Structure 1
Amino acid sequence: MTTSRDEIMQKAAELRDALSATEEISFYKKAEETIDANSKVQEKIAKIKLLQKQSVNLEHYGKFEAMKETEAQIERLKQEIDDLPVVRDFRRAQVDANDLLQSITREIDQNVTRKLETRD
Structure 2
Amino acid sequence: MTTKVFTKDEIVEKAKEIAHMIANTEQVEFFKKAEAQINENQYVREKIASLKTLQKQAVNFQHLGKERALKLIEEKIEKIEQEIDELPIVQEFKQSQFEVNNLLQLVSNAIANNVTNEIITSTGGDVLKGETGSKVQNSQPGSCS
- The corresponding residue for 2:102 is 99
Q: Unpaired segments of 5 or more residues in structure 1?
A: none
Task: Give the Cα–Cα distance (whole angstroms) in 1 for the partners of residues 119 and 48 of structure 2.
Answer: 48
More helix by share: 1
Q: Given residue 56 of structure 1, which amino acid in structure 2 is its aligned partner?
A: V
- Residue 89 of structure 2 corresponds to which residue in structure 1? 86
Distance 1:109 1:30 in 2: 31
User: Once the two structures are superposed, what CA deviation does each residue of 1:2-60 show, in whole Å capped at 9, x if it has no partner?
Assistant: 11122111111110111111111111111112112222112111211111111111122
Distance, in Å, in 1 between the alignment partners of 2:40 and 2:14 is: 34
Q: Which has the larger radius of gyration?
A: 2
Q: Which runs of 5+ in 2 are unaligned?
A: 124-145
Question: CA separation in 2, counterparts of 1:86 and 1:75?
Answer: 19
Deviation track 1:40-91 (CA, whole Å, cap 9, x = no partner) reads 1121112111111111111222221111010000000000000111101101
TM-score (norm 1): 0.93
Which of structure 1's runs of 4+ aligned residues deviate more than 3 A? none
Task: Determine the structure 2 residue equivalent to 1:53.
Answer: 56
* SS in structure 2 of the partner of residue 19 of structure 1: helix
> Which residue identity does 1:79 align to in structure 2?
Q
State the identity %: 44
TM-score (norm 2): 0.78
Matched residue, 2:28: 25
Aligned with residue 65 of structure 1, among 64, 68, 78: 68
